[in-house]
């Protein structure tokens, strides 16, 4: 087995445990050690590990129809498109397999719309620190430090401005600009909210200039913040939204959602072999139907508020910093402690928690996490931070 591990391409530093089983908020490695999982497949397992609704959807759809090619309609594809159109108030849905693919589609759609309706405008204003994926275009769109001159030549057509600086966004708009694209909360950067005011100001700005507002809701969408979409807190309506991660409840599924007038792809412009396959789409329907229930979203909001309050109390007690984020996407700012080391200590103590930057820990539990599990997490976290065990 260890020799086989050596054949896995080295694209990230992984700790040694090999995970074999999950249930709800818990994950087990092959030595039988149990972990409380506040990473959850990277904010992916919205209903926890192996939830009943996902298993039922997989087995019912799997025995009925797994794949008929995107060249033909299928029932789950249609149902999921309808659910996402209803939830977003937008009109047209393209199903795909990963967040990067959804964002790549959003960039293509904006360019197509610019070619058609804005005299060939193609430039997209994006944010410093943003993360939109790992394809060539989405890496170029991202404002991740160190990504500026990686894999040359770079896809051009992106202009970066500081998150929250409206003046910089105004100044960056030219006749070449077709859209502004951002995450309502920058997740990978370390959980930095764009802020509702700023989102509203960008919505007004893009409307005034006749350009598009593209929201990357791959991390914030599907209930993560306590509303179905993160932008609903700000009361704005984007022209294009992308979702991924949590929509599949653990399986690879993502979507590009656009308003009717913006949706201008012609036959052949966009596609993908696995896009909208019935198996993944059926799981997506089960997840969306579960998460969209008002009581479900209320429980995410109240458990998120509870987690935030408890993290703030712990931070105050141990002399750490602010707690940022919304719903069940939160980060704790550490003072004078390396988050990577704390995350490693937590792993030893039976807790999975991510360190997106040297001074921050990120919490992205299952949306179904219980108060007891939050309490158990805090006990291990406090010990990992060098407080009492």
Ligand X SMILES: *Cc1c(COP(=O)(O)O)cnc(C)c1O
Supply the residues annotated as catalytic: 131, 216, 245
Taking the C-alpha atoms of residue 210 and residue 87, their distance in angstroms, rounded to an integer, is 24
| Closest to 121 measured CA to CA, from 69, 173, 199, 177 | 177
- Among 188, 239, 359, 373, the residue binding ligand X under the rule CB under 6 A is 188
**Positions 104 through 123 that interact with ligand X (CB under 6 A):** none
Taking the C-alpha atoms of residue 353 and residue 33, their distance in angstroms, rounded to an integer, is 16
Task: Select 100 or 222, whichever has its Cβ closest to ligand X.
Answer: 100
Q: Which stretch binds ligand X (CB under 6 A): 129-137, 159-167, 319-327, 368-376?
A: 129-137
Angle at Cα 126 formed by Cα 125 and Cα 132, nearest 5°? 140
Task: Select 354 or 384, whichever has its Cβ closest to ligand X.
Answer: 354
Q: Establish if 98 lies at the interface with ligand X (CB under 6 A).
A: yes
Contact 256, 109 (CB under 8 A): yes
Contact 24, 253 (CB under 8 A): no
Task: Select 109 or 315, whichever has its Cβ closest to ligand X.
Answer: 109
Torsion of CA 234, 240, 245, 251, to 10 degrees: 140
- Among 22, 48, 76, 99, the residue binding ligand X under the rule CB under 6 A is 99
- Among 49, 245, 320, 357, the residue binding ligand X under the rule CB under 6 A is 245
Residue nearest to ligand X (CB): 99
Q: Establish if 133 lies at the interface with ligand X (CB under 6 A).
A: yes
Taking residue 348's Cβ as centre, other Cβ atoms within 10 Å add up to: 12
CA distances from 387 to 165, 175, 273, 310 (A): 38, 56, 51, 15
Q: Which stretch binds ligand X (CB under 6 A): 15-23, 128-136, 153-161, 284-292?
A: 128-136
CB of 327 to ligand X, least distance (A): 15
Q: Establish if 216 lies at the interface with ligand X (CB under 6 A).
A: yes
CB of 182 to ligand X, least distance (A): 9
CB of 364 to ligand X, least distance (A): 10
Q: Going by DSSP bridges, is the β-strand pair 212-216/240-243 parallel, antiparallel, or unpaired? A: parallel
Q: Establish if 131 lies at the interface with ligand X (CB under 6 A).
A: yes
Q: Establish if 183 lies at the interface with ligand X (CB under 6 A).
A: yes
Q: Which stretch binds ligand X (CB under 6 A): 127-135, 290-298, 316-324, 325-333?
A: 127-135
H helix and E strand count, the chain: 12, 17
| Closest to 357 measured CA to CA, from 161, 190, 220 | 190
CB of 186 to ligand X, least distance (A): 8
Burial 74-86 (b: 16+ CB within 10 A, else e): bebbebbbebbee
Q: Establish if 129 lies at the interface with ligand X (CB under 6 A).
A: no
Q: Which stretch binds ligand X (CB under 6 A): 26-34, 126-134, 154-162, 370-378?
A: 126-134
Q: Which stretch binds ligand X (CB under 6 A): 144-152, 181-189, 191-199, 309-317?
A: 181-189
CB of 374 to ligand X, least distance (A): 22
CA distances from 147 to 144, 373, 377 (A): 6, 37, 34
Q: Establish if 45 lies at the interface with ligand X (CB under 6 A).
A: no
Task: Select 277 or 384, whichever has its Cβ closest to ligand X.
Answer: 277
Q: Establish if 362 lies at the interface with ligand X (CB under 6 A).
A: no
Residue pointed to by tokens 């009943």:
52
- 282's tokens: 């059926």
Task: Select 189 or 380, whichever has its Cβ closest to ligand X.
Answer: 189
Task: Select 195 or 350, whichever has its Cβ closest to ligand X.
Answer: 195
| Closest to 124 measured CA to CA, from 48, 59, 179 | 179
Contact 126, 285 (CB under 8 A): no
- Name the site residues for ligand X (rule: CB under 6 A): 98-100, 103, 131-133, 183, 187-188, 216, 218-219, 244-245
């Amino acid at each position: 087995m260890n020799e086989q591990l050596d054949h896995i391409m080295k694209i990230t530093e992984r700790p040694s445990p090999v995970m074999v089983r999950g249930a709800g908020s818990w994950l087990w490695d092959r030595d039988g050690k149990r972990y409380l999982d506040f990473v959850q497949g990277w904010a992916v397992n919205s209903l926890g590990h192996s939830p009943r609704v996902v298993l039922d959807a997989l087995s019912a759809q799997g025995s009925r129809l797994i794949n008929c090619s995107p060249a033909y309609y299928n029932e789950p594809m249609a149902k999921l498109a309808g659910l996402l159109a209803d939830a977003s108030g937008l009109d047209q849905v393209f199903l795909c397999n990963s967040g990067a693919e959804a964002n790549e589609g959003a960039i293509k759609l904006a360019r197509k719309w610019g070619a058609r309706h804005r005299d060939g405008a193609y430039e997209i204003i994006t944010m410093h620190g943003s993360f939109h994926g790992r394809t060539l275009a989405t890496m170029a769109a991202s404002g991740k430090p160190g990504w500026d001159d990686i894999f040359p030549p770079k896809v051009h057509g992106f202009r970066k401005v500081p998150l929250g600086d409206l003046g910089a966004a105004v100044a960056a708009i030219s006749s070449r600009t077709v859209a502004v694209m951002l995450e309502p909360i920058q997740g990978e950067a370390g959980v930095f909210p764009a802020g509702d005011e700023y989102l509203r100001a960008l919505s007004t700005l893009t409307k005034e200039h006749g350009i598009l507002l593209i929201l990357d809701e791959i991390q914030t969408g599907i209930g993560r913040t306590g509303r179905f979409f993160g932008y609903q807190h700000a009361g704005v309506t984007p022209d294009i939204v992308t979702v991924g991660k949590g929509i599949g409840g653990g399986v690879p599924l993502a979507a590009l959602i656009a308003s009717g007038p913006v949706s201008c792809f012609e036959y052949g412009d966009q596609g993908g072999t696995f896009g909208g396959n019935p198996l993944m789409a059926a799981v997506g329907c089960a997840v969306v139907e579960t998460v969209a229930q008002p009581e479900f979203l209320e429980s995410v909001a109240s458990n998120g508020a509870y987690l935030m309050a408890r993290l703030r109390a712990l931070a105050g007690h141990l002399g750490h910093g602010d707690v940022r984020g919304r719903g069940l996407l939160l980060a704790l700012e550490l003072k004078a402690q390396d988050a990577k080391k704390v995350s490693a200590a937590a792993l030893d103590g039976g807790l999975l928690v991510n360190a997106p930057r040297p001074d921050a820990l990120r919490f992205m539990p299952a949306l179904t996490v219980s108060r007891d599990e939050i309490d158990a997490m805090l006990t291990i976290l406090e010990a990992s931070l060098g407080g009492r065990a």
